[in-house]
């Protein structure tokens, strides 16, 4: 369970309230954050889409160092004849919790939706309880990037990433929807850079809400009005139409190439790596470096690293699809080499998958310092080793070794100082798994 609670607040208008205000909040919402929530909060007729079911997801920083992840929707007025009003439920999310969700507000929104956290009515009391949102998220939504690679296309998405990085405010429209395009933008950025991009997926543009990325209305008059503001760039993306003429730097070229050539797994694997102190200014050079790595992968005839081979909690990965000896091309060799040996359990059996996933969870939790996880791993490892067999365990060891090495690389900052606790935890786990005491 996360030690940092998620505070919450509701910004709306109620009968006799004298306009829009924060009508309820938890005790941990400080005065400075409350003022900021009110300043960014949408009021009457702020939602672009007049559909009663329309909503807007919003994200922006707060003075306390936390971040507001909010959902705005339209509700019926509380007074007769009051019409519809905008109701915004705000989650005040600590940086530590954002990091668990790969600094991706859309991933946190999905988790909150699954847990039924979003309020769709007014609180009955002005005091709300803080929330706790367990779990985490993968660094990249590969399925979404696959959809965007098909529509509007890799050229268009690369233009979106390039323009968003350089604009003071970018208004985005097009297909499949502004919300999907903005969500795709986050899956095309390193985790270290994502928190710089405040956004709204469905609120009308307003100078008092200085989001960095906003949704563009389908109304031509509203588009002209938005485009008339200084420091606002307008980008309308539609598949099948000529992509915008946007010069791409190294990072934009990497995004374009990854989406057009189907190298999304390579991109996801690279974005899963943590690069401390990485800034937006570093991306052009990093993009060129990663394209060189992609060149080596393609010229060497090797497939890009699947993102699922980077160890993650069970909820964030597919069940051990990357164990190579069970691929079709190795089937004959595997059968021949095991013909005279007792059969090992099949990797696709539910029992084996459950054991492998249990092992993954214990290793991940142990390396990341979850209390009691290492003791549980010490007790479980000998039993799992005996049940899974040496060959299958060896494949898992190799994966854990790659993960531990990536942890070591990630923990080095620009001065070469390492976060020793996490590195030692990874070393302890490897010593156990490889039989070194």
Domain boundaries of the chain, sorted by first residue:
7-128, 142-299, 311-433
Task: Identify any residues that bridge with 55 across adjacent strands, giving them in sequence order.
Answer: 73
| 188 phi/psi in degrees, rounded to 5 | -110, 10
Cα–Cα distance measured from residue 90 to residue 72, given in angstroms and rounded to the nearest whole number: 9
Cα–Cα distance measured from residue 226 to residue 233, given in angstroms and rounded to the nearest whole number: 9
Is residue 28 within 8 A of residue 34, CB to CB? The reply is no
Name the 3-class secondary structure at 304.
coil
pTM over 0.85: no
Cα–Cα distance measured from residue 131 to residue 117, given in angstroms and rounded to the nearest whole number: 8
pLDDT of residue 329: 35
| 93 phi/psi in degrees, rounded to 5 | -105, 125
| Per-residue tens of pLDDT for the chain, all 437 residues | 446 899 999 999 876 556 899 999 999 999 999 999 999 999 988 999 888 889 999 999 999 999 999 999 998 765 444 568 899 999 999 999 999 999 999 999 999 999 899 998 889 899 999 999 999 999 999 999 999 999 999 999 999 999 999 999 999 999 899 999 999 999 999 999 999 999 999 999 999 999 999 999 888 888 888 989 989 999 999 888 888 889 999 999 999 999 999 999 999 999 999 898 899 999 999 999 999 999 988 887 654 444 333 344 433 333 343 333 223 333 343 334 333 434 445 544 667 767 777 787 788 778 777 778 888 989 988 888 888 888 777 877 777 787 677 666 555 543 444 456 667 888 888 888 888 65
CB atoms within 10 A of CB 243: 18
Tokens of 434: 């490889």
pLDDT of residue 331: 36
Q: How far is CA 249 from the centre of its chain?
A: 24
pLDDT of residue 300: 73
Of 239, 217, 237, nearest in space to 227 by CA: 217
Of 93, 94, 70, nearest in space to 12 by CA: 70
pLDDT of residue 52: 82
| Cα dihedral 390/321/286/301 (nearest 10) | 80
pLDDT of residue 344: 46
pLDDT of residue 298: 84
């Amino acid at each position: 369970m996360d030690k940092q609670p998620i505070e919450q607040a509701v910004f709306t208008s109620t009968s006799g309230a004298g306009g829009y205000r924060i009508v309820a909040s938890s005790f941990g919402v400080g005065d400075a954050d409350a003022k900021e929530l009110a300043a960014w909060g949408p009021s009457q007729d702020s939602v672009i889409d007049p559909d009663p079911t329309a909503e807007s997801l919003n994200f922006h920083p707060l003075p306390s160092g936390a971040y507001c992840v909010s959902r705005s929707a339209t509700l019926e007025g509380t007074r007769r004849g009051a019409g519809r009003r905008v109701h915004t439920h705000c989650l005040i999310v600590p940086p530590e919790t954002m990091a668990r969700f790969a600094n991706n507000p859309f991933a946190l929104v999905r988790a909150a939706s699954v847990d039924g956290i979003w309020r769709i009515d007014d609180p009955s009391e002005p005091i709300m309880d803080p929330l706790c949102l367990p779990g985490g998220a993968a660094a990249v939504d590969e399925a979404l990037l696959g959809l965007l690679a098909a529509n509007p296309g890799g050229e268009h998405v690369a233009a979106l990433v390039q323009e968003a990085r350089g604009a003071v405010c970018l208004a985005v429209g097009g297909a499949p929807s502004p919300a999907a395009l903005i969500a795709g933008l986050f899956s095309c950025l390193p985790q270290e850079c994502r928190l710089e991009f405040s956004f709204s997926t469905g609120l009308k543009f307003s100078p008092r809400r200085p989001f960095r990325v906003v949704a563009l209305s389908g109304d031509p008059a509203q588009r002209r009005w938005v485009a008339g503001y200084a420091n606002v760039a307008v980008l309308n993306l539609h598949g099948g139409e000529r992509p915008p003429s946007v010069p791409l730097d190294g990072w934009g070229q990497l995004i374009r190439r990854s989406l057009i050539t189907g190298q999304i797994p390579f991109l996801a694997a690279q974005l899963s790596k943590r690069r401390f102190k990485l800034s937006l200014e570093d991306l052009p050079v990093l993009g060129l470096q990663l394209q060189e790595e992609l060149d080596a992968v393609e010229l060497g005839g090797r497939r890009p690293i699947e993102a699922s081979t980077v160890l993650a909690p069970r909820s964030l990965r597919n069940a051990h699809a990357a164990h190579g000896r069970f691929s079709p091309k190795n089937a004959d060799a595997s059968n021949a080499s095991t013909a005279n040996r007792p059969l090992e359990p099949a990797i696709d059996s539910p029992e084996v998958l459950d054991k492998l996933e249990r092992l993954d969870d214990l290793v991940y939790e142990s390396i990341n310092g979850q209390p009691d996880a290492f003791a549980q791993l010490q007790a479980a490892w000998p039993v799992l080793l005996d049940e899974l067999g040496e060959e299958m365990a060896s494949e898992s060891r190799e994966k854990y070794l790659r993960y531990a090495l990536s942890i070591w690389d990630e923990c080095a900052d620009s001065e070469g100082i390492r976060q020793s606790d996490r590195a030692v935890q990874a070393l302890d786990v490897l010593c156990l798994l490889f039989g070194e005491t």
